[in-house]
Amino acid sequence: MILLADDDPVFLESVAAVLRPRYDVRTVANGREALIAVDDDPPDLVILDVMMDHMSEGFDVARTLRSAEETSLIPIIILTGVDRVYNVRMEVDESWIPADHYLGKPVAPDELLRKVAALVGPGAAGSP
Amino acid sequence: MIRTEPTPRRPGDAGRGRETGQGPVGDDGRDHTSYLFSWELHGRLLWFANLRWAAVVGLAAAALAGPAVGMPSTNPSLAVVAALVAVYNLGFIYLLRYRLGPESAYGDLRTAAILQMVTDLAALFVTVHFTGGCASPVLPFVVFHMAIGTIMIETRSMYLLACAACGAAAGLFVLEHLGVLVRYPSAAGGVSTVATCGLSTAMLVGLVFGVVYLTDSVTSRFKARNVELHQITTELQRSLAEREAVERRKSHYMRISAHQLRSPLGTIKTSIQVLLDGYLDPGSAEGRRLLEGTAARVDSLLAIVNDLLELAKMREGRVKAPWARNVSVNQILADIFDAQDTFASEAGVELVPRFIQEGAAVLDWAVPPDLVYAFENLIHNAIKYSKPGGGTVTVGLAVDHERATVVVADQGIGIPDGLHEDVFLEFVRAPNAKHAAAEGTGLGLSIAREAVAMHGGEIVLQSAEGVGTTVTVVLPLHRVPPELSAP
């Protein structure tokens, strides 16, 4: 199961539409709901937007997940629509954020599927 | 918001402040000019202390050479004076290096300066006594000391010291001539008569006061200029800091604006790509829902762009805006009530007009569209952020001779503590507001504040989360922009 957290319902719907044919997808609207969902049913992968209710909410959630023993191994993809400098910084040093991958917004569906497949396998319908 | 600026001072004022050793007091309560002068005075005192070693060497040399030029009284008396000067000079240097720093109080440094002058003059008069009294070749050094003293410390103290020096000289010469003190021969040979001594004393008095007066005339201009330069530099630094703050704010504003535009664009592009790549059929119910959501994002993008333009227009100044004279606030509020009535009904909110005081609020000058935008935004927000199920939104208007006060009070979700000022910043929306209403550019209150400020008014917000928000707008009735009020 993949947990998707973003405060934009249209964006959530788009990304979910890409993933749903191959994976179980659960969507939440903010970081607090994401942590509750992880606690409720640990997912195989968490995809987090950075800016939700607060400026760095996605990072905060990612750090919380990484710091807890039972959730520290859950793969994380960070989504962000922030500026290019920010992206370059992440490309140079991905360890700067506690995530396995990052994806810039807008999201290219094929690239999203590739990164997801690299972390949790190709899903129900085989290789994307 | 009222900012307090220090009152500008004329250079002359500053100069006078310096003369008494009490400069203008800055807005942090610190005496900046005294601070400036303390720094300089400390440097000059150290310089003078170093120069004093030359006097020590000169005195020691005079003690040795004096007998050879007909002044046997210089040995060992001047050697003792040299030793005393060396000892107190070491004391002064210690004081200046380890006890009194450049940032010490001006008064403390001035006391040290006067003390140095007095000890120097005492040493000098002892030297004068042993080198011929009023015929002594070292008598001109009294004048030299006065010049240096006037450069270092303020004029009033120097005139007092000049009086003391002249009195000491006169007293010394009188005591010598009365035979109370021994009269030693000068280098020229022999001893002075009463007449020549009186003439020397008169010349000394004239020279001492003349030098203090002339030195002060020259240095006071430099002192005044120095203070003026210090004030100008301070003003420039403040102005530069303000400019840098404005530039940073502009840059931040541009970055935030770009991000706010990019965010819906990212969603739109992703949605279109999902549809184009065939992950969803645009004809299916899901596809259609995504298209509708995308169209809503385009609308929000347009709303942001429109609000940004509105804000930019206001910030550029509205001299060419569609202004009007005698604008009725009552009428503007009545029109907004009509326009918002449907929205309020749909939200289950009752709009209550409450005019605290009878009478029409008429502004001498206003830009009606901007005022409409401001009040419409405040009333629209009050309705939009009412609690589910409705409530009341009360709009009050009070008028006195000087101002109109509009109060928009709701019983809505309120604004969390700590965000009451931030919600006036561009793109800042409280988290509970985002949950309550998805749409919203985060620019409405910024524009409202800009519009109110443009009319010379102010906007104040009081709110308690979960209880409601009250926004008060105060507008002056008789404000007309200066460019329009000129006859």
Burial group, residue A4, by CB count within 10 angstroms (0-12, 13-18, 19+)? buried
- Chain B residues lying within 8 Å of A108, measured CB to CB: 273
Render pLDDT for B290-307 as a digit per residue (tens, 0 to 9). 999 999 889 888 988 988
Q: Say yes or no: B209 and B301 in one domain.
A: no
3-class secondary-structure state, position B247: helix
Between residues B10 and A108, the one the model is more confident about: A108
- Chain B residues lying within 8 Å of A113, measured CB to CB: none
In which domain, by residue range, is B311 found? 285-485
Between residues B36 and B392, the one the model is more confident about: B392
3-class secondary-structure state, position B411: coil
pLDDT value for A125: 56
Q: Say yes or no: B60 and B111 in one domain.
A: yes
CB contact under 8 A, A11 and B273: no
Q: Cα–Cα distance between B239 and A9 in angstroms, integer?
A: 46
Residue (of B144, B122, B146, B123) closest to B62 by Cα position: B123
Q: Which residues contact B169 (CB under 8 A, 6 or more apart)?
A: B125, B128, B134, B139, B142, B201, B204, B205
* Per-residue DSSP letter, B31: B
pLDDT for residue A9 is more than 50: yes
pLDDT value for A55: 67
Q: Say yes or no: B109 and B47 in one domain.
A: yes
Residue of B nearest to A128 (CA): B279
Min Cα–Cα distance to chain B from A69, Å: 30
pLDDT for residue A49 is more than 50: yes
pLDDT for residue B28 is more than 50: no
Cα–Cα distances (Å) from B176 to B41, B115, B186, B193, B400, in that order, read 37, 26, 13, 11, 86
Residue type, position B76, single letter: P
Q: Is B273 contained in some domain?
A: no
CB contact under 8 A, A107 and B289: no
Q: How many helices (H) and strands (E) does chain B have?
A: 13, 7
Backbone phi, then psi, for B471, in 5-degree steps?
-110, 130
**Helix (H) or strand (E) segment spanning residue B399:** strand B391-399
- In this prediction, residue A96 has a pLDDT band, given cuts at 50, 70 and 90, of low
Q: Which residues contact B64 (CB under 8 A, 6 or more apart)?
A: B75, B79
Q: Cα–Cα distance between A20 and A87 in angstroms, integer?
A: 27
pLDDT for residue B461 is more than 90: yes
Long-range contacts formed by B307-314: CB under 8 A, 24+ apart = B307/B441, B307/B443, B307/B444, B307/B447, B308/B257, B308/B443, B310/B373, B310/B443, B310/B447, B311/B426, B311/B443, B311/B446, B311/B447, B311/B450, B314/B370, B314/B447, B314/B450, B314/B451, B314/B454
Q: Is B480 contained in some domain?
A: yes
Render pLDDT for B187-236 as a digit per residue (tens, 0 to 9). 665 556 788 888 889 999 999 999 999 998 888 888 788 888 888 999 99
Q: Say yes or no: B233 and B309 in one domain.
A: no
Of B242, B270, B304, the residue at which a domain comes to its end is: B242
Cα–Cα distances (Å) from B398 to A50, B330, B358, B373, in that order, read 46, 10, 8, 20
The answer to whether A119 contacts chain B (CB < 8 Å) is: no
- Are residues A39 and A84 in contact, defined by beta-carbon separation less than 8 angstroms? no
Mutate to test the interface with B, among A4, A6, A13 (most CBs of B within 10 A): A13
Neighbours of A96 (CB within 10 A): 11
Q: Cα–Cα distance between B41 and B184 in angstroms, integer?
A: 38
Interface A-B: count of C-beta contacts within 8 A: 72
Q: Cα–Cα distance between A99 and A5 in angstroms, integer?
A: 14
Strand partners, B475: B404
Cα–Cα distances (Å) from B66 to A24, B58, B69, B79, B118, in that order, read 111, 11, 5, 11, 25
Angle, vertex CA B216, rays to CA B213 and CA B219, nearest 5: 155
Q: Cα–Cα distance between B432 and B439 in angstroms, integer?
A: 13
pLDDT value for B54: 94
Q: Whose structure tokens read 């992703």?
A: B270
Q: Cα–Cα distance between B201 and B120 in angstroms, integer?
A: 19
Q: Cα–Cα distance between B448 and B458 in angstroms, integer?
A: 10
Q: Say yes or no: B294 and B232 in one domain.
A: no
What is the C-alpha radius of gyration for chain A, rounded to an integer number of angstroms? 13
Residue of A nearest to B277 (CA): A109
Residue of B nearest to A51 (CA): B263
Q: Say yes or no: B340 and B220 in one domain.
A: no
Residue of A nearest to B272 (CA): A14
The interface predicted TM-score of the complex, written ipTM, equals: 0.84
The tokens for A60 are 């905060």
CB contact under 8 A, A109 and B255: no
Q: Is B252 contained in some domain?
A: no
Q: Say yes or no: B225 and B80 in one domain.
A: yes
Q: Say yes or no: B232 and B291 in one domain.
A: no
Query: How many domains does the structure of chain B reveal?
Result: 2
Residue of A nearest to B431 (CA): A53
- What secondary structure does DSSP assign to B182-225, as a single string? -----TTSS---HHHHHHHHHHHHHHHHHHHHHHHHHHHHHHHH
The tokens for B309 are 């333009």
- Chain A residues lying within 8 Å of B271, measured CB to CB: 10-11, 13-14
- Chain A residues lying within 8 Å of B270, measured CB to CB: 11, 14-15, 105-107, 109
Of B180, B208, B242, the residue at which a domain comes to its end is: B242
Q: Which residues contact B141 (CB under 8 A, 6 or more apart)?
A: B124
Q: Which of A35-49, B250-264, B274-288 has the lowest mean pLDDT?
A: B250-264
The answer to whether A85 contacts chain B (CB < 8 Å) is: no
Q: Cα–Cα distance between B408 and B349 in angstroms, integer?
A: 13
On average, the pLDDT of chain B sits at 84
Q: Is B302 contained in some domain?
A: yes
Q: Whose structure tokens read 């989360």?
A: B465
**Which among B1-10, B251-260, B379-388 has the top mean pLDDT?**
B379-388
Q: Is B257 contained in some domain?
A: no
Share of chain B above pLDDT 90, in %: 40
**Helix (H) or strand (E) segment spanning residue A104:** strand A101-104
Q: Which of A77-86, B99-108, B298-307, B442-451 has the lowest mean pLDDT?
A: A77-86
CB contact under 8 A, A14 and B258: no
Q: Say yes or no: B341 and B466 in one domain.
A: yes
Min Cα–Cα distance to chain B from A10, Å: 5
pLDDT value for B485: 66
Cα–Cα distances (Å) from B7 to B2, B233, B235, B397, in that order, read 15, 16, 12, 37
Q: Cα–Cα distance between B322 and B327 in angstroms, integer?
A: 12
Pairing assessment for the beta strands B468-476 and B403-410 based on DSSP bridges:
antiparallel
Q: Say yes or no: B320 and B467 in one domain.
A: yes
Q: What is the largest CA-CA distance in chain A?
A: 37
State the CATH number of the domain containing residue B394: 3.30.565.10
Q: Is B85 contained in some domain?
A: yes
Q: Is B248 contained in some domain?
A: no
Residue of B nearest to A85 (CA): B255
The answer to whether A13 contacts chain B (CB < 8 Å) is: yes
Please enumerate residues of B whose Cβ is less than 8 A from a Cβ of A: 255, 258-259, 262-263, 265-271, 273-274, 277, 279-280, 286, 289-290, 293-294, 296-297, 431, 434, 438
The answer to whether A60 contacts chain B (CB < 8 Å) is: no
Q: Say yes or no: B221 and B326 in one domain.
A: no
pLDDT value for B52: 93
pLDDT value for B319: 57
Walk me through the domains of chain A, giving residue ranges and CATH numbers. Answer: 2-114 (3.40.50.2300)
Q: Say yes or no: B292 and B205 in one domain.
A: no
